[in-house]
A and B are shown apart, each in its own frame.
Chain A
Amino acid sequence: GENVEQHPSTLSVQEGDSAVIKCTYSDSASNYFPWYKQELGKRPQLIIDIRSNVGEKKDQRIAVTLNKTAKHFSLHITETQPEDSAVYFCAARPGGYSSASKIIFGSGTRLSIRP
């Protein structure tokens, strides 16, 4: 089945600097890659997503890139702010009819923004 690996597990950056989180996936047929932000005790919130027919997508300070050949995708947050501190999860939706739209999560990155 699909396996999603995420690095780093923790990341601390100075406020205003950029943060990059990287993920790899194993199923080459995966076709949808969402990123979620989860604050302590809260539900995951979708912050950006990308489909397999797109290489890059940007939404204000957040961008995601996808390299299908290498099976890598990354989250980029620019001009980080204290409210960006949270746990971020990448995820991938495996291909195939039997997947029934399920998504598999990476292990998470705890991002801390230093004032």
Chain B
Amino acid sequence: GAVVSQHPSWVICKSGTSVKIECRSLDFQATTMFWYRQFPKQSLMLMATSNEGSKATYEQGVEKDKFLINHASLTLSTLTVTSAHPEDSSFYICSARAPGHSSYNEQFFGPGTRLTVL
């Protein structure tokens, strides 16, 4: 139980285009999901907290107009990187808590999406 998936697993796009990444909780409902960015050989940096049915909460320094988050259902959150540039190239990972799971504190991570902007 408590499986999180992401789609796509990798994407290559041209500079200036927008890319949407999906995060799904497969066997549980997640009112809250989290989006992280990880550069090579670096840590996971929390970008934003995605709240079902309301606006996302962004961490300091993260541009909300650049990284659009939509959490329209209890099993799906999307992250759209708008007008992507090469410096946006990174590994994007989502996570979610699973209420009712045996370890209620635990966050379950998706497999990540590797974005490369040419």
Contact = CB atoms under 8 A, between A and B. Distances in A.
Contacts of B93: 43-44
Given A101-B97, A102-B34, A105-B43, A43 B110 contact: yes
Contact of A42 (B34, B46, B111): B111
Task: Classify the secondary structure of B's interface with A.
Answer: strand
Contacts of B34: 102-103
Interface residues of B, number: 23
A14 B112 CA distance: 32
Contacts, number: 53
Nearest to B93: A43
A104 interface: yes
Chain A interface residue count: which class?
20 to 34
A89 B106 contact: no
Contacts of B41: 110
18 contacts: A1-B60, A42-B111, A42-B112, A43-B112, A44-B44, A46-B106, A49-B105, A89-B43, A100-B32, A100-B51, A100-B57, A101-B97, A101-B105, A102-B34, A102-B49, A103-B34, A103-B46, A105-B43
